[in-house]
Structure 1
């Protein structure tokens, strides 16, 4: 396997800059994530999850991550973690080898995965936070447990599902929902990322709604085995 990396951009009153790169699994010649994920089974799930983490850390730093202010965001599989502190050992060793500080690693999980075993996930997240890592809920708004999860545990970052973002500039119900989600997360101390931003109109509406972190084709496509420079936001 290998990795592609997609930039996440910060854009607020202070200016703009890199917030993070998300590591996205690919085949060794750039094949799709689906082609790789299709080969996961119960027998290889743990080793796959471990290899993804180490590959992302080693490749991103080899490509120059440490010369940027960006964090590295890695998706992990909660059902591949049997004991948090044991299963993080390889990631810790990889980060120490390349000199990547713990607070520049973000571990993402999806809202749907959280529904499978919330108690197990909360144990993982508490352990990761205690060890100095950051955490993120991905695809927030796609499932039905998001608010309950926020009540139990406040991650560092909430990544909004792109279904909430699409066409937000012309959809009042979405605007109302996102304005209140942004305010709620701000009060809880969670950063909010709008995923899947594809148009200038979506970007500008999201800015008006109080969102300052953005990911999507408008600002940068995933780069296979590279850390793409973000595209300047429209009108900024």
Structure 2
């Protein structure tokens, strides 16, 4: 696993870290997932969760009562029964003494979610167990308004393609303004991922986005918590 910081512009602090799959030779998530056969998806999903929690328990500061959130991706179509599928997750958290309220699950699919009732039951069970839920890649593929109409997670992550060059694109700015209005009405937190420039950060910050993730702040660190870039750290400091 590699970890990439998620920063909170409102508190000028690291809000959490996303756990990202990496191969032993540094291969990205796409290359790894391409080798996972359909019948292995559930087992792979479970193994990734346990590995992420185990590493986070060793790397995250746990003693000050303000544990950063650990964001874990999961495959909805690989979860056969929500409560049963959480057993390994809960066991790993107990064993590592990692607080479950600090765990966030992001769900995304390159294919449409086949059973919306099933996904609704997953979100309901995860919330009942104290986890935060999020829609990843919002604005791309199947992760759009129709999905949001059926499921209201705690958080949505704006897809990087939607925010790329937003500082010079009026259409993207208008779309984000609309998403922010909808999210506010539904009491959903918005996170912008894939930030690559200060200009993108400033426009989204002015639009009301509070959480950010991207190379401009920090690249993922392999089994380590990377420090924020100088530019990212400076941008989070309150104006004099």
TM (normalized to structure 1)?
0.92
2:4–2:219 contact (8 Å) kept in structure 1: yes
**Pairwise CA RMSD:** 1.7
2:112–2:142 contact (8 Å) kept in structure 1: no
1:136–1:158 contact (8 Å) kept in structure 2: yes
2: CA distance, partners of 1:198 / 1:151: 30
Task: Indicate how the Cα distance of structure 1 residues 131 and 104 shifts in structure 2: closer, same or farther if over 3 A, else same.
Answer: same
Note if 1:43 corresponds to 2:43.
Answer: no
Q: Any idea what the Cα deviations from partners look like across 1:170-202, whole Å, max 9, x if unmatched?
A: 000110110121121122111101010000110
1:111–1:140 contact (8 Å) kept in structure 2: no
Note if 1:69 corresponds to 2:67.
Answer: yes
2:60–2:67 contact (8 Å) kept in structure 1: no
2: CA distance, partners of 1:94 / 1:185: 32
Q: Could you say which residue in structure 2 is the equivalent of 1:180? A: 178
User: Given the alignment, which residue of 138, 141, 156 partners 2:139?
Assistant: 141
TM (normalized to structure 2)?
0.91
* Aligned-pair CA distance for 1:111: 5.8
SS at match of 2:35: coil
Note if 1:126 corresponds to 2:127.
Answer: no
Q: Any idea what the Cα deviations from partners look like across 1:125-157, whole Å, max 9, x if unmatched?
A: 111111111100000000255223322321111
* Aligned-pair CA distance for 1:114: 5.3
1:18–1:69 contact (8 Å) kept in structure 2: no
Moved more, 40-49 or 66-75: 66-75
Q: Could you say which residue in structure 2 is the equivalent of 1:81? A: 79
Q: Could you say which residue in structure 2 is the equivalent of 1:91? A: 89
Task: Indicate how the Cα distance of structure 1 residues 42 and 65 shifts in structure 2: closer, same or farther if over 3 A, else same.
Answer: farther
Note if 1:5 corresponds to 2:3.
Answer: yes
Task: Indicate how the Cα distance of structure 1 residues 51 and 201 shifts in structure 2: closer, same or farther if over 3 A, else same.
Answer: same
Q: Could you say which residue in structure 2 is the equivalent of 1:103? A: 101
* Aligned-pair CA distance for 1:22: 0.3
Q: Could you say which residue in structure 2 is the equivalent of 1:234? A: 235
* Aligned-pair CA distance for 1:10: 0.4
Q: Could you say which residue in structure 1 is the equivalent of 2:23? A: 27
Moved more, 202-211 or 183-192: 183-192
Q: Could you say which residue in structure 2 is the equivalent of 1:56? A: 52
* Structure 2, unpaired ranges of 5+: none
2:75–2:109 contact (8 Å) kept in structure 1: no
